Amino acid sequence: MLEAAQAGRGAHVAEVADYTMIGVAGRRLRVAQWHTGRTGHRPLLLLNGIGMNIELLEPVAEAMSERHVICFDMPGIGRSPAPIFPYTIPQMALTTASLLERLGIESVDVVGLSWGGALAQQFAFQHRVHTGRLILAATTAGAAMVPGDLTMMRHLADPMEYTVERTLKRNLASLYNGGGNAIVSLNAAIAPTPLGWAYQIAAFGAWTSTPFLPLLDMPVLIMGDDNDTIVPPTNLHYLHNAIPHSRLEMFTGGGHLFMLSQQERFVASVRAFLDSDPAET
């Protein structure tokens, strides 16, 4: 897929993601990398939401054109093969660290979106030496979360609603656009496997970051939307209060996918945080 991407903050150049299948920690993961020749900034790792394949984050990755950006499909999501056995979020944090090692990347800034925000928290805790700055968007502390709209949450728990192509985009539209006043295109969505979806749900249900949130001592930016019906704002304030010296930025009208529906502001906020002086964070 060929898209116009902004080089640095100036001219536009054609940019194609480099997609590869990589075997790591007993799993095969589909990995995408953008702007691999970029230097001068720490690489940026994007961790996606539940059931969401790499392509859905392409607009954000392409917009961060001054940085080397990495994203991968979770097991059974997108085009990564379905997992044989269930996994935990701490196990996937270890897998993520092993993947970065295979790619020859020593440290990364991390952006975790929704489910990926849980993995980002765990990765930052387990692998602090490999974590520069941490951005948590539309995410929670896991088992300690304040639930969103109960009808949507029950809908979310049914893997058959999201693993059939003819219903996937309709369900994702109602789930992820919930609370937003702008339409987000989900045409690039790929149906996850039933095991891929179910194992992601199970991993999150058995996890919480509450005990270690006070130990996250890297610069942290927490982002949410006032109208998010999946992750109510209370969850973002909880993270902000639990993580020392963290910053909180709230959007309005973007819904759960505010990072896509309000992409320009989201990218500008991410860039400003990553480029800010450490004394300002």
Q: Give catalytic residue positions.
A: 114
The answer to whether 47 and 116 have CB atoms below 8 angstroms apart is yes
The answer to whether 19 and 190 have CB atoms below 8 angstroms apart is no
Helix (H/G/I), strand (E/B), else coil: 249:
strand
Q: Which long-range contacts (CB under 8 A, 24 or more apart) does 100-107 make?
A: 100/45, 100/70, 100/130, 102/22, 102/24, 103/22, 103/31, 103/33, 103/70, 105/43, 105/70, 106/130, 107/42, 107/43, 107/131, 107/132
Which residues on adjacent β-strands are paired with residue 250?
224
> Nearest to residue 113, comparing CAs of 205, 24, 163, 45?
45
Distances in whole angstroms, Cα of residue 198 to Cα of each of 51, 85, 87, 161:
10, 11, 11, 11
Which residues on adjacent β-strands are paired with residue 220?
134
Spatial distance between the Cα atoms of 225 and 256, rounded to a whole number of angstroms:
7
